[in-house]
Chain A
Amino acid sequence: MTMMMDRLRSADRRPAPVAADGARGPLLTVDGLAKHYGARIGCTGVGFDLWPGEVLGIVGESGSGKTTLLKAIAGLVAPDAGSIRYDAGAGPVEVRALSEPERRRLMRTDWAFVHQNPRDGLRMGVSAGANVGERLMARGQRHYGRIRGAALDWLARVEIAGARLDDRPSAFSGGMQQRLQIARNLVSEPRLVFMDEPTGGLDVSVQARLLDLIRALVRELGLSAIVVTHDLAVVRLLADRLMVMKDGRVVEAGLTDQVLDDPAHAYTQLLVSSILQV
């Protein structure tokens, strides 16, 4: 457990976000990405760079193509066109050209996907500890005590009492399930995390705690993240940059606060002006 923590904290395999600014290229470069469902556009012509340590928000109404885009980048649906280049430090690799074993290995080590519904991202039939330990075991860890230690450590990080280690996620509240899903994904120390409405369906107070947790983890681990949400308050607090999607296309992109406070596109203005102020 302490070994695990030390490795996380020293972050030796990951350049700090600060140093990364000039030292290396983007972590992810998406270019001309498109996904069609027959004649209907899922998303099209999407391109952006994601740098180490950055959080990119993708907002838009239901049906705007934001979740399709996320899944197309993450490899959960196959894109029709475009390129996705990922650079883990050894030079950019075209993800779409990877063989299936390589892509699956990437998905369970360097990348992680946090689903909106924790049930889609958790194994409900096994304990919280087994859920968190799975990625470690998949990577060949074979020491029960150390796997359990790492699971305990991660439960603490996502603020789940250690006493719940052997409980099944079905006995957890929605917020706890979502935090468990995050722990399960981050235990393998991914560099890039995809999140689909991570705070959707949670109580406002639970949302706040989760947002704080995600922010802290992003900062401590130097994670890069792509977060899809329809909640502009969430992206304001979480995302460094924002892409606004409408009808499968990106209509506006930039600094999160710039896009929200000084929106240029008509649709973004409409979106921003539609928020209820409290």
Chain B
Amino acid sequence: MEPRIRVENVSKTFTLHTQGGTRLAVMAGASLTVRPGECVALTGPSGAGKSTLMRIVYGNYRADAGSVTVAGTEVVNAEPRTVLALRRHVLGYVSQFLRVVPRVPTIEVVAEPCLAVGRCPASAEARARALLTRLNIPERLWGLSPLTFSGGEQQRVNIARGFAHAYPALLLDEPTASLDAANRAEVLRLIAEAKADGAAILGIFHDAEARAAICDRAVDVGAFMPAAGAATEGAG
């Protein structure tokens, strides 16, 4: 089967103009593939560039060289609208941070990805309700902005949002961090369901148990560290 996510020979250097033009080479020769229905973990020591690689796949960071394709669409040097369409329909991303418009109710935050792909408001809301229920966000909180929630609750809202639309490819950055056992198990079930649906998943899981339970294989990002480069992740 064709890989749904393919990273080939990607390199990345940050140039810090505000720090006298310091150049930080953080990645070289990064390559990996994720097939539909497969879950691949990025591993390696802190600062090895796991998050950087995820961001490059998402189009959030620019790659200096190499190629990233998601479901056949090239991400490196792509037109913004190509990346936007890819993100809307194909490529989901659960980051560690919840970034939403303040004061928007949780239910709308979770329903938004469904609305963005043109689902009707009623079905988008039904999907959001189902996910929030599964992730144990009490219904009395649904009308409030998630920015007022605890860290664990925010993380679960973020996950609900990430799984609202059935993305064919998913990037997960520490999806089980700061969750209790019950919620962690529910998130793992969500991931397993997405896999079963044929989603290609690339993730960072510090939680070794979760990684073992859900990931088919691991890619050591440490292997992509440039030989002479400073082992520092760039800003962010």
Hey, which bits of chain A sit against chain B, CB under 8 A?
16, 18, 21, 51, 54, 204-205, 208-209, 211-212, 215, 219, 236-237, 240-241, 254-255, 257-258, 261-262, 264-266, 269-270, 273
> Which residues of B line the A interface, CB within 8 A?
14-18, 55, 59-62, 80-81, 83-85, 88-89, 99-104, 115-118, 234-236
Specify which of B14, B81, B104, B234 is in contact with A212 (CB 8 Å cutoff).
B104
Partner of B18, one of A54, A215, A273: A273
**C-alpha spacing A6/B231, complex, angstroms:** 58
Chain A binding surface SS class: helix
Q: Given A262-B61, A264-B15: A254 and B117 within 8 A (CB)? A: no
- A16, A215, A255: the one contacting B84 at CB < 8 Å is A255
CA distance in complex: A270, B116 (Å): 33
Complex alpha-carbon distance, A237 and B109, angstroms: 13
Structural contact, A262 and B60, CB atoms closer than 8 A: yes
Q: Which residue of A has the minimal Cβ distance to B147? A: A208
Nearest CB of B to A223, in Å: 14
What residue in chain A is nearest B116 (Cβ atoms)? Answer: A219
Contact assessment for A258 and B81 in the assembled complex, using a CB-CB cutoff below 8 Å: no
Judging by beta carbons under 8 Å apart, are A18 and B117 in contact? Answer: yes
What is the chain A residue whose CB lies nearest that of B104? A212
Q: Which residue of B lies closest to A51 (CB)?
A: B81
12 contacts between A and B (CB under 8 A): A16-B118, A18-B85, A18-B117, A209-B103, A219-B116, A236-B99, A237-B101, A255-B80, A255-B83, A258-B61, A262-B62, A262-B236
Residues in A with CB closer than 8 Å to B85 are 18, 21
Assess the A54–B81 pair: CB atoms within 8 A: yes
* B66 → chain A closest CB, angstroms: 15
On chain B, the residues within 8 Å of A212 by CB distance are: 101, 103-104
Report yes or no: A270 in contact with B17, Cβ–Cβ below 8 A: yes
The 10 A-B pairs at the shortest CB distance, nearest first, are namely A266-B17, A208-B102, A262-B61, A255-B80, A208-B103, A241-B80, A212-B101, A269-B17, A212-B104, A211-B101
Alpha-carbon gap, A237 to B101, bound state (A)? 6
Closest residue on chain A to residue B82 by CB atoms: A21
Q: B114: shortest Cβ distance to chain A, in Å?
A: 11
Contacts known (A266-B18, A269-B16, A269-B18); A255 close to B116, Cβ less than 8 A = no
| B117 contacts A205, C-beta separation under 8 Å | no
**In the bound complex, CA of A138 to CA of B88 (Å):** 38
Q: In the complex, are the beta carbons of A261 and B55 less than 8 A apart?
A: yes
Q: Taking A21-B85, A261-B236, A264-B15 as contacts, is the C-beta distance between A240 and B103 under 8 angstroms?
A: no
Which of the residues A241, A261, A269, A273 comes within 8 Å of B61, measured between beta carbons?
A261
Q: Are the CB atoms of B81 and A21 closer together than 8 Å? A: yes
- Nearest Cβ distance between residue B86 and chain A, in whole angstroms? 10
- Taking CB atoms, residues of chain A closer than 8 Å to B101 are 208, 211-212, 215, 237
Q: Which of A21, A208, A258 contacts B59 (CB 8 A)?
A: A258
User: Could you say which of A16, A254, A262, A273 contacts B80, with CB atoms under 8 Å apart?
Assistant: A254
* A269, B104: Cα distance in complex, Å: 30
Q: How far is the CB of A178 from chain B (nearest CB, A)?
A: 16
Residue of B nearest to A253 (CB): B80
Beyond A212-B104, A261-B61, 11 additional contacts (C-beta under 8 Å) are A18-B89, A205-B102, A205-B103, A208-B103, A215-B101, A237-B99, A241-B80, A255-B80, A258-B59, A258-B61, A262-B62
Task: Name the distance in Å between A107's Cβ and chain B's nearest Cβ.
Answer: 26
